[in-house]
């Protein structure tokens, strides 16, 4: 419900994302939570955007390196701050640019450091999940006394 509302307000199918890789260090670290807004009519060089290539279900957080625009559409070339080369190799075969309307989930307008690390640890690490559940169970038991 909350997610749906946020999604409509921000016009993004995924208004909150967690950074999963180190490709944007030092600006963003693995585990940072990013808030997206997808109602900007155009992006500027230097904006950090999240995109998802059609056919590849992986959201990528990178910075706009170059842009071309006409009245009706904007094309963007992106690159991770920490990557040696631009994202051309990540796009679909024969795709030279991102299409703002089709590929972008949104532009980063705010972030919360580190909190998303908990979700990364839970999804990537079974032991951490059980440890966390155990910890929560214990604190609940102690809290009830
Ligand atoms: C964003 O806005 C466009 C145009 O108004 C609309 O077609 C699209 O469904 C919206 N997307 C989301 C995720 O709300």
Residues 65-75: tens digit of each pLDDT: 999 998 889 99
Note whether 13 and 70 are same-domain residues: yes
Q: Does the CB atom of residue 8 touch ligand 1 within 6 A? A: yes
Do 76 and 126 share a domain, yes or no? no
Alpha-carbon span 68 to 44, nearest angstrom: 10
Confidence of residue 88 (pLDDT cuts 50, 70, 90): very high
Co-location of 33 and 96 in the same domain:
yes
Band of residue 45 on the pLDDT scale cut at 50, 70, 90: very high
* Rounded Cα–Cα distance for residues 77 and 18 (Å): 22
Residue 143 Cα to ligand 1 midpoint, Å, equals 45
Please tell me whether residues 96 and 128 are part of one structural domain: no
39 alpha carbon – ligand 1 mean position (Å):
9
Q: What is the pLDDT of residues 135-145, one digit of tens each?
A: 777 777 777 55
With the CA atoms of 95, 98, 102 and 107 taken in that order, what torsion angle do they form, in degrees rounded to the nearest 10? 160
If you average pLDDT over residues 80-101, what whole number do you get? 95
Domain count, the chain: 2
pLDDT at 18 over 70: yes
What distance in Å separates the CA atoms of residue 65 and residue 46, rounded to the nearest whole number? 6
Our answer on whether the CB atom of 13 is closer than 6 Å to any ligand 1 atom is: yes
Q: Do 78 and 121 fall within a single domain?
A: no
- How many angstroms separate the Cα of 28 from the Cα of each of 24, 70, 84, 89, 116? 5, 31, 16, 22, 12
Co-location of 46 and 97 in the same domain: yes
The predicted model gives 74-98 an average pLDDT of: 96
For residue 18, what are the domain limits? 2-114
Q: Above 60 in pLDDT, residue 126?
A: yes
- How far CA 23 is from CA of 3, 43, 98, 105, 132, in Å, comes to 27, 20, 18, 18, 28
> Do 67 and 131 fall within a single domain?
no
Pair (109, 140) in one structural domain = no
Examine the domain organization and report whether 61 and 131 are in the same domain: no
Residues 81 and 137 both lie in one domain: no
């Amino acid at each position: 419900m909350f997610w749906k509302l946020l999604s409509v307000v921000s016009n993004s199918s995924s208004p909150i994302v967690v950074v999963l890789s180190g490709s944007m260090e030092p600006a963003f670290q693995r585990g940072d939570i990013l808030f997206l807004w997808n109602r900007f009519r155009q992006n500027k060089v230097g904006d950090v955007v999240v995109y998802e290539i059609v056919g590849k279900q992986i959201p990528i957080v990178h910075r706009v390196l170059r842009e071309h625009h006409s009245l009706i559409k904007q094309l963007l070339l992106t690159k991770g701050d920490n990557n040696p080369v631009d994202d051309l190799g990540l796009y679909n075969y024969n795709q030279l640019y991102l299409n703002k309307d089709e590929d972008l989930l949104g532009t980063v307008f705010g972030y919360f450091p580190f909190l998303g690390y908990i979700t990364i640890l839970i999804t990537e690490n079974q032991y951490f999940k059980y440890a966390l559940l155990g910890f929560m169970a214990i604190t609940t038991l102690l809290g009830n006394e």
